[in-house]
């Protein structure tokens, strides 16, 4: 990490951590008045986060595409940017950040402990398919995270009941949250599909096969099938409300394992492009 990247990275991480404390305070002490200020604080953290990415781009000549640190840096940016954008457009959805930002804090904290050194882009990554594959991967991860966050709001509001918690009363209705969960799920599934197709085309040119049953590929397929089952259960079986919400919360773990868990346990994956 360059000096400027280090400064901006920790500024963003600390800002996100402070906002997490604020969201916990709002929930525990039933104080919804802090939400607009917390959204602004997260937006300030996003500016520092963007500056960290720009600093790394300036130092390496390429966007952060590979390795646990760069995954967390870029993936976290997509999640926070979406949370801020949604919160600005709809004040009732500002509490989404209460579920998304803590995940980003953990991701970035984990990433900085892995391999944050500045490295040149591997020759295998110098292809246009990289941009398509990774871009849609982050869109899918971001959308699935938003589905999880909307599910958390749904479960809190359902448990709290009308009039029991001033903060929960500011959430959208249960019907609206249920619709949002499904919309985020579908958007994530579509972008996930594009990510898999682009990755397969890239893999054929790189490794001579569209599918290699690499650990990362296998877990990506498991995650994809889990969300496909969720859509089937919603459309064909009528799963709504708490059942689908709980499934979205649990299903996100398969995505986290796909991005971070596999390479933590197995370092022989074809998807490890950095020297550790």
Model confidence at 19, pLDDT cuts 50, 70, 90, reads very high
Question: What's the confidence (pLDDT) of residue 123?
Answer: 62
Under the banding of pLDDT at 50, 70 and 90, the label for residue 28 is: confident
Average pLDDT, the chain: 86
HSE, side-chain direction, 13 A CA sphere, residue 126: 5
What pLDDT is recorded for position 275? Answer: 42
Tell me: pLDDT of 265 over 70: no
H or E element, residue 251: helix 241-256
Lowest-pLDDT choice from 119-123, 132-136, 156-160, 186-190: 119-123
Q: Is residue 264 predicted with pLDDT exceeding 70?
A: no
What percent of the chain has pLDDT above 90?
A: 50
* pLDDT for residue 176 is more than 90: yes
Q: Is the pLDDT of residue 104 over 50?
A: yes
Summarize the confidence of residues 21-46 as an average pLDDT: 89
Residue-wise pLDDT for 214-231, tens only, equals 788 888 899 999 999 999
Question: In Å, how far from its chain's centre is CA 83?
Answer: 10
pLDDT of residue 7: 94
Would you say 140 and 218 are in contact if contact means Cβ atoms under 8 Å apart?
Answer: no
Answer whether 1's CB lies under 8 Å from 9's CB: yes
The residue extents of the domains of the chain are 1-121, 127-276
pLDDT in tens, 222-260: 999 999 999 999 999 888 889 999 999 999 999 988 877
Distance CA 269, CA 257 (A): 14
The answer, yes or no, to whether residue 136 has pLDDT greater than 70, is yes
Task: Give the pLDDT confidence score for residue 276 in this predicted structure.
Answer: 41
- pLDDT, greater one: 67 or 25: 25
Q: Does residue 119 surpass a pLDDT of 60?
A: yes
CB-based contacts of 46, cutoff 8 Å, min separation 6 = 12, 77, 80, 81, 84
140, 128 contact by CB (below 8 A): no
Instruction: Specify the DSSP class assigned to residue 66.
Output: S
Q: Which pLDDT value is given to residue 248? A: 96
Average pLDDT over residues 22-41: 87
The dihedral region occupied by 11, where left means phi > 0, alpha psi between -120 and 50, and beta the remainder, is alpha
pLDDT at 31: 80
Please, which residues have CB within 8 angstroms of residue 21's CB and are 6 or more apart in sequence? none
Cβ-contact 140, 192 below 8 angstroms = yes
What b/e readout covers 145-183, taking b as 16+ CB neighbours within 10 angstroms? bbbbbbbbbbbbbeebeeeebebbeebbebeebbebbbe
Which pLDDT does position 54 carry in this prediction?
A: 94
| Mean of pLDDT values over 154-158 | 90
- Reported confidence tier of residue 80, pLDDT bands at 50, 70, 90: very high
Structural contact between residues 83 and 42, judged by C-beta atoms closer than 8 angstroms: yes
- Which has more pLDDT, 44 or 71? 44
């Amino acid at each position: 990490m360059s000096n400027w990247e280090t400064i901006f990275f920790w500024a963003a991480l600390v800002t996100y951590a402070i906002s997490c404390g604020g969201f916990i305070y709002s929930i525990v002490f039933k104080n919804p008045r802090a939400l607009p200020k917390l959204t602004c604080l997260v937006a300030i953290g996003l500016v520092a986060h963007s500056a960290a990415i720009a600093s790394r781009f300036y130092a390496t000549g390429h966007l952060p595409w590979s390795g646990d640190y760069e995954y967390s840096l870029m993936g976290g940016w997509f999640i926070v940017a979406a949370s801020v954008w949604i919160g600005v457009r709809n004040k009732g959805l500002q509490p989404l950040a209460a579920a998304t930002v803590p995940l980003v804090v953990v991701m970035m904290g984990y990433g900085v402990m892995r391999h944050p050194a500045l490295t040149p882009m591997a020759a295998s990554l110098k292809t246009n398919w990289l941009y398509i594959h990774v871009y849609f991967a982050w869109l899918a991860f971001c959308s699935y995270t938003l589905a999880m966050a909307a599910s958390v709001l749904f479960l809190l509001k359902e448990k709290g009941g009308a009039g029991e918690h001033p903060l929960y009363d500011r959430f959208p209705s249960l019907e609206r949250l249920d619709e949002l969960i499904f919309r985020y799920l579908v958007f994530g599934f579509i972008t996930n599909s594009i990510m898999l197709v682009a990755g397969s085309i890239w893999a054929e040119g790189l490794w001579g096969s569209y599918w290699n049953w690499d650990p990362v590929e296998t877990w990506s397929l498991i995650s994809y099938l889990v969300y496909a089952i969720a859509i089937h259960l919603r459309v064909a079986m009528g799963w709504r409300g708490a059942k689908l919400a709980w499934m979205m919360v649990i299903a996100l773990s398969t995505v986290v394992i796909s991005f971070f868990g596999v390479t933590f346990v197995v370092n022989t994956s074809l998807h490890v492009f950095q020297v550790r």
